[in-house]
Amino acid sequence: MSMPSVSHIRGVIPAMFSTFNSHEEVDLKRAGILVNFLIDQGVHGLYITGSTGEGFLMTDDERKAFTEAVIEKADSRVPVVVHVGAIGTKRTIELAQHAEAAGADAISSVPPFYYQFSQDNVFGYYKDVSDSVQIPMIIYNIAFAGLMDNSLVGRLTTIKGVRGLKFTGRNHDDMSMLKQELGSDFMIYSGSDEMAVQGLLAGADGLIGSFYNLLPDTFLEIYRLAQEGDYVRAFEIQKLATTFIKFTLKWDFYGIMKQCLTDTGVDAGFVRRPFTHPREEVMQQVWAYCDRLKVSVPDTHMAFMYRKRKPAAL
């Protein structure tokens, strides 16, 4: 049986938040709210239980339940990619097989980390996981897990099930070279929100990122302009978005984004410790910054700043 392609998985794909209540329990009702919001905004897919989804802070059973709920709520309206990464191959295979049974369009995984595995170890991990399912694998190259060099990535693409790469790094020369070498049938996704335009210029087929939960409209416009060849205008909007992103990075920004969504009518819940949810005085600083930005710029291209706020008890 030939492995399906991931060529239909392109465009703006939020690395979707996992949703927790104030007691840090997985909240599937909130998950459904967020899924509908993002799809209604026009995103092209969902990437779940990854870094932004706090997947490494969840038990395997929680990841499975969340996966089932998101796929059911998405109801084939957009493709769903499930991050199944864990340090151990056996656990990852179990999560991968569950994702396939639940109806995922593709799986994804960071390389095994912490133990400084050899390149042969990493190759064996991806081959064993990919061989365990009949849906494609998108490998995930990210600094915290140890960036894989192009030679290893190239070797991984010889595995039958590996059909794409999520590249969360700032060396877009590497991304561009990989795209040229691997061709149009191998999908590459830029994972650096602050450099989305640069990623598209380097040949990325899509964008997978954290801030697309809060700013889907912003990055959909950037993607549209890039597809039309108007990179100058796309970069102007990127600079505005990056200004906001950089401002939030002084705190645990997952919590900032979740609270911004909740304050504007999309209940995205809370973060799980050791992340901390923002205190009221922090959110006052965030909203004051947004108000200043709206005054100084005719159009921020960030729709959440203009939605009616419903401050929640923190």
Q: Which helix (H) or strand (E) holds 138?
A: strand 137-142
Residue 146 has pLDDT above 70, yes or no: no
Q: What is the pTM of this model?
A: 0.95
What's the pLDDT tens digit per position in 208-240?
A: 999 999 999 999 999 999 999 999 999 999 999
Cβ atoms 141, 165 nearer than 8 A: yes
DSSP per-residue codes, 166-199:
EEESS-HHHHHHHHHHH-TTSEEEE--GGGHHHH
Least confident of 162-171, 194-203, 270-279: 162-171
Cβ atoms 302, 193 nearer than 8 A: no
Domain coordinates of the chain in residue numbers? Answer: 11-232
Q: Which two tokens stand for residue 116?
A: 């400084």
Cβ atoms 46, 14 nearer than 8 A: yes
Residue 52 has pLDDT above 50, yes or no: yes
Return the active site residues.
Answer: 140, 166
| Residue of 44, 39, 12 lying closest to 200 (CA atoms) | 12
CA–CA distance, 203 with 217 (Å, rounded to integer): 21
CATH code reported for the domain at 11-232: 3.20.20.70
Question: What is the predicted pLDDT for the residue at 5?
Answer: 86
CA–CA distance, 40 with 200 (Å, rounded to integer): 24
CA–CA distance, 113 with 304 (Å, rounded to integer): 36
Tell me 26's DSSP state. Answer: B
169 pLDDT band, cuts 50/70/90, is confident
Question: What is the predicted pLDDT for the residue at 312?
Answer: 47
* Residue 290, φ and ψ in degrees, nearest 5: -60, -40
CA–CA distance, 235 with 161 (Å, rounded to integer): 35
